[in-house]
Amino acid sequence: MAKATDPQIHRNFIDGEWVDSQRGQTLENRNPANNDLIGTFPSSDQRDVEAAVEAARRAFRSWRLVPAPKRAEILFRAAERLVARKEELAREMTREMGKILVETRGDVQEAIDMTYYMAGEGRRQFGQTTPSELQKKFAMSVREPVGPCALITPWNFPMAIPSWKIMPALILGNTVVLKPGEDTPFSSCRLVEVLSEAGLPPGVVNLVAGLGADAGEPLVRHAGVKLASFTGSTETGRKISQICAAALKPCHLEMGGKNIIVVMDDANLDLALEGAVWGGFGTTGQRCTAASRIAVQKTVYREFVDRLTRRARALRVGDGLDPETEMGPLINRQQLETVTRYVAIGSEDGARLATGGHRLEGGAWDKGWFFEATVFADCDPKMRICQEEIFGPVVSVIPVDDYDSAIEVANGVGYGLSAAIYTRNVNRAFDAMRELEAGIVYVNAPTIGAETHLPFGGIKWTGNGHREAAVAALDFYSEWKTLYIDYSDRLQRAQIDTGAFGAKGE
């Protein structure tokens, strides 16, 4: 692929080659900080999907037979290449997606970690061996690949989230077709490029860029796709679930979040404040794990709100490539309009706008989608800004009487991805770990910061039970095959031949 120094024409990656879309239409990829044109990418449709799935089906026949340790060697080489190119890839991602360099370096690092981790699983795809109830019979289970996988990823983590899906699928012997977020296809293309350079055979990984309706939905519906994994909005996830259910096709959904930080009056307030700023305004609030709600015990509420307001007001907002910048732009005009609309809703519903609430304009801000770090105080937990995912730098602070009311507020939303509590009371911390309705719970840390060697995912409207990352990901991208080997040289009947020990012997 061409370097990212100038606008470039980019292509789909199908059967080991970068190829033009059969549709012939393109989408512009622009820097959200200054509207610079990064390049054009295909606006693919059903025909491109057909070609990619067919390539994945052909490649699966041989890739599934490659020993897992040999597949792992390719992933390990890919990880090494990611390490060598980390700074380059991070700077390209900041230019494409907008988040600050320290965060895009973390995004690339997460892809590195996941690739190394799954390379290790090439020698650790353990099954079970267990004693049979019959003599001269051996029983065990092994993992089997499923086939071509449809992977649909969002724009906010354009290298990390594709790696969460691609790497476990590959190490198990599956092939994949990736449809990246239309706002950030370039970083995903770079990841695919690295995998190809590391020696991945043609057709094992394919990438089709385009819109969800034109490329994503046909990919999920394709009869040659054996499972689908999606990260994105709850609305789209529900639709994908319905499509897959009709075809009895396994699907994995990672969707929205309305995450909370609970601050008790015995907390280290300095630490809780740092967590609130990072959790609420990191990635400009454009994370499914962002801490968009903070429930604070009333005895420390005013102090906490005042300090959070000052910190939010002081955040340096600008181009993520500037090392002084602490918060970058929103991804596009649509997201800016969404955040603006929710700020109006919050004010109309009676929340107190403590700081922020406006688009940043003037000077270097004029060409980008910049928005102030925004804090609403004195919020009722039933307000829309406390119930609905905004996906922007908007934090709602809710006063609570005590621990029990804080847990009630925390669990009083439809989502269940991530939650955090700040307290020095170990008994209360352990109780919260049990009572908080979330797939991920932090104690004395914000709601963001998941690591690749533990399962990632949520409950309720956030997910459908499957998990990304770690060994948990292997369970989604493989099928269990149970094997029985009878070496008695005669018919033995489980559950029927149950005589006393020795009665069914030699």
| Amino acid identity, position 296 | V
Catalytic residue check, 379: no
Query: What's the per-residue H, E or C state across 327-359?
Result: ECCCCCHHHHHHHHHHHHHHHHCCCEEEECCCE
Which residues lie below 8 Å from residue 6, measured CB to CB, with a gap of 6+? none
Please give the backbone phi and psi of residue 337, each rounded to the nearest 5 degrees, phi first.
-65, -35
Cβ proximity of 393 and 354 under 8 Å: no
Report the C-alpha gap between 93 and 133 in whole angstroms: 57
10 Å Cβ neighbour count for 447?
30
Which two structure tokens, joined as six digits, stand for 382? Answer: 């039933």
Residues β-bridged to residue 139: 130, 484
Residue 467: which H helix or E strand, with range? none
254 classed as catalytic: yes
DSSP 173: T
Please identify which of the residues 189, 244, 288, 379 carries the catalytic annotation. Answer: 288
The 3-class secondary structure across 197-241, one letter per residue, is HCCCCCCCEEECCCCHHHHHHHHHHCCCCCEEEEECCHHHHHHHH
In degrees, rounded to 5, the angle at the alpha carbon of residue 177 between the alpha carbons of residues 171 and 179 is: 125
Quickly count: other Cβ atoms within 10 Å of residue 334's Cβ: 11
* Distance, CA of 377 to chain centre: 29
Tokens 């979330």 locate to 438
Contacts of residue 387, defined as CB under 8 A and 6 or more positions apart, other chains included, come to 258, 381, 413, 414
Percent helix, percent strand, percent coil in the chain, to nearest 5: 40, 20, 40
Pick the catalytic residue: 254, 372, 389, 468? 254
- Rounded Cα distance between 389 and 414, Å, is 10
User: Smallest Cα–Cα separation from 288: which of 411, 154, 401, 172?
Assistant: 154
Q: Among residues 122, 235, 117, 236, which one has the least CA distance to residue 179?
A: 236
Please give the positions annotated as active site.
254, 288
